[in-house]
Structures are given as C-alpha cells and as structure tokens.
Amino acid sequence: MMNPKFDKGQQVIIRPSNANAPSARDNTLEKYAGQIGRIVNYYWISPEAGKIFYLYTVRFGTGNHEVVLHEDEIKIY
C-alpha cells in the first residue's frame, strides 16, 4: 500500500487551479487557493483495483472550518 504524502498536524497550502477550463470543484476551491491550513485527518479510497488515492481533511484558521482535499490540491507549507 502506498503511504500518504502528508501527515496529521502538517501545515499545507491550497494550490491554485491550473486548469484552462476550470471544473465546478476548481471554482469552489478557488476561494481557498493560497491559504494555509493544517491536516486534521486523512483517509484513502480505492476506486479501482490497484489504485489508491488519499483525501485530506484540512482545517483553516482558528475556527472549525474544514475542507476535504485531494492530495494534488495541496502542497507542503
């Protein structure tokens, strides 16, 4: 099994969308682009045999605002 790229407690930055034709998800996440958050949880999914993808719950600021992000939507701060 592939290990997660990020750990709980790690600070990350939300990547801006690179897409020429942004999807509905890109439009939703655009307001978070460049913001710093902290990983509070992660889990994996396997939509097809042999492929594993990690999803990360990221908390922003001092409140309880959280967003679930794909691994390629964040980078290490």
Tens digit of pLDDT at every position of the chain (77 positions): 689 999 999 999 998 877 666 677 767 788 888 999 999 999 999 988 888 999 999 998 877 889 999 999 999 99
Is residue 6 in some structural domain? no
Q: How far apart are CA 41 and CA 66, in angstroms?
A: 10
- What residues make up the domain containing 20? 11-76
For the chain, first and last CA: distance in Å? 25
pLDDT of residue 1: 64
Is residue 71 in some structural domain? yes
Is residue 47 in some structural domain? yes
pLDDT of residue 20: 64
Is residue 25 in some structural domain? yes
Between the CA atoms of 17, 19, 22 and 24, what dihedral angle is there, to the nearest 10 degrees? -60
Structural domains of the chain, count: 1
Is residue 21 in some structural domain? yes
Is residue 4 in some structural domain? no
Backbone angles phi, psi at 73, to 5 degrees: -95, -5
